[in-house]
Amino acid sequence: MICRGATSLAVVLAVGCGGGDSADGDPMLVLAAASLTDAFTDIGAAFEEANDGVTVEFSFGGSSSLATQIVEGAPAAVFASASSTQMTVVVDAGLAAEPVVFTNNLLEIAVPPGNPAGIATLEDFAREDLLLGLCAEEVPCGTFAREAFAAAGITPSVDTNEPDVRALLTKVETGELDGGIVYRSDVVASGDAVEGIVIPSERNVVARYPMAVLEEAPDPETAQAFVDFVLSRSGQETLDRYGFTAP
């Protein structure tokens, strides 16, 4: 069972995602941050091709929801988080060890096509006449965006704190918001639906994505093989194609 876009009460979902104890041939469940959806789907297909008889299933969701699911006992093999905080939650619970950073994601300003409000820099986020959105403070993209504003000494005039990047992006795509801070990978994944405005690297915040094999993994070897595959040249190229940067 795949719980795609798991953004509802984690406790409820943990029950819904119960895959049972794995026997040979059962798919391997990977819990991955929502921002990895496209890249990991490609990588998963390549991994299956390279390893006969192995199937990978993904459950994409907010990193914190995924962490809660793992703590509540979701029978997953691998956790790929968009934030070290959520990985720490899992590690502290004794459910994973030795996470590795497998990719980085940079922040980028997303604006509707044509950039009607003429947003150019982070300073524009202080303009009260614009409708601007961020991710909620509790989710990584929101945390990082606030870090960036704090470092730049800017107090953003925020009109909404969206629960996840996807929700924020939708509101930018439809032009309801004049701009929002998302990941570069999200801008790439959106194609022509939004325009990205690069934030200079000295003002940018790097989101480090850690991943780890989970203690409860039914087949730790295959799980480790998947982690290695993501770190391999092929995996990194795929991530790069989707706007991520190598660590």
Q: Is 133 in the site for another protein (CB under 8 A)?
A: yes
Residues 1-20 that bind another protein (CB under 8 A): 9-10
Question: Residue 84, interface with another protein (CB under 8 A)?
Answer: no
Q: Closer CB to another protein, residue 92 or residue 137?
A: 137
The reply to whether 118 sits near another protein by the rule CB under 8 A is: no
Site for another protein in 143-162 (CB under 8 A): 158-162
Draw the binding track, 185-214, toward another protein (x: CB under 8 A; -: no contact): ------------------------------
Give, rounded to a whole angstrom, the gap between the first and last alpha carbons of the chain. 32
Cα torsion 144, 63, 135, 179: sign: positive
Q: Tell me if 247 contacts another protein by CB under 8 A.
A: no
Residue found by looking up tokens 């990895």 in the block: 36
Residue from 56, 106, 139, 199 touching another protein (CB under 8 A): that is: 139
Compute the least distance from the CB of residue 167 to another protein, in Å.
7
Measured from the CB atom, the residue of 25 and 94 that comes closer to another protein is 94
Q: Which stretch binds another protein (CB under 8 A): 40-48, 101-109, 164-172, 210-218?
A: 164-172
110 and 187 Cβ atoms separated by less than 8 Å: yes
Site track for another protein across 31-70, x = CB under 8 A: -------------------------------x-xx--x--
For the bound state, the minimum distance from the C-beta of residue 139 to another protein, rounded and expressed in Å, comes to 6
On the 0-12 / 13-18 / 19+ scale of CB atoms within 10 A, 25 is exposed
Q: Which residues bind another protein (CB under 8 A)?
A: 9-10, 62, 64-65, 68, 131, 133, 136-139, 158-163, 167, 170-171, 174-176
